[in-house]
Amino acid sequence: MSDWKTLESHPTKVLIDYLQGEMQSTEVKKNAFLALMFLFRKDLLNKCEAICKNRGFDVDVAQLITERTFGKYGKSKNFRIEEGKSTSIDTCFKVYLYGIAKNELNNYYREEEKRKKGLLYDGTENIVTKIPNVDIEKLDKKNKIIHETLMSLPYSHQVVYLTYKTHEKEGVNLPKALRIKLREHLGGVEQSTIRTYKKEAIDKIESAKKILQRLS
């Protein structure tokens, strides 16, 4: 089956069964999903526009939330008719989509707040594998101590510390892709190991700073 339009007249339950079931081919699942989008997109968009208007967002955001909602459902395929409160499967499915849309709008709001505060990443972040070349003689005592301590750390600790120091933003985790790349670069270690390396590096540097303060 190559054209989703061959499914557009099928009942909602059949389309959902095609998409969420185990017996259909990938092509049938894809076409069933597209048919569901065609059937429910206008209703969902209208609902998103109303929700967005109440939250102070425009129609462009409503369209984005609509697409994200279908995308979320397409990945989860987690609609359950028995959890609905109506005898109409169409009504139950709409309410299910509305719930996803509200969550996606909340996610969008949080993203925008982070964006305003400069807390979002743009995907260009990369691991830092080398301490920058600096003229040590031009550093003050504090930075000389930090530099010397960094140089004394194992390579793994240097990479973890420098990567986090370069990219970490308060209250926000490093991007998942960057964390995976960091773990793979260090031989496939667990994230718990990365946290240990980071803590050990920070502890060493903070300890060196305290020693300098006592001597000053």
Domain boundaries along the sequence of the chain: 4-116, 136-215
Instruction: Please give the Cα distance from 203 to 185 (Å, whole number).
Output: 23
Identify the pLDDT of residue 1.
43
* Structure confidence by residue, pLDDT tens digits, 5-20: 788 889 999 999 999 9
3-class DSSP assignment, residue 172 = strand
3-class DSSP assignment, residue 6 = helix
- Among 82-86, 93-97, 110-114, the range scoring the smallest mean pLDDT is 110-114
* Structure confidence by residue, pLDDT tens digits, 162-195: 999 999 887 778 888 999 999 999 999 999 999 9
* Structure confidence by residue, pLDDT tens digits, 132-157: 888 888 888 888 888 899 999 999 99
Torsion angles phi and psi, residue 172, rounded to 5: -130, 130
What fold, for 4-116?
A: Rna Polymerase Sigma Factor; Chain: A (1.10.1740)
Name the pTM for this structure. 0.62
CATH 1.10.10: does it fit domain 136-215? yes
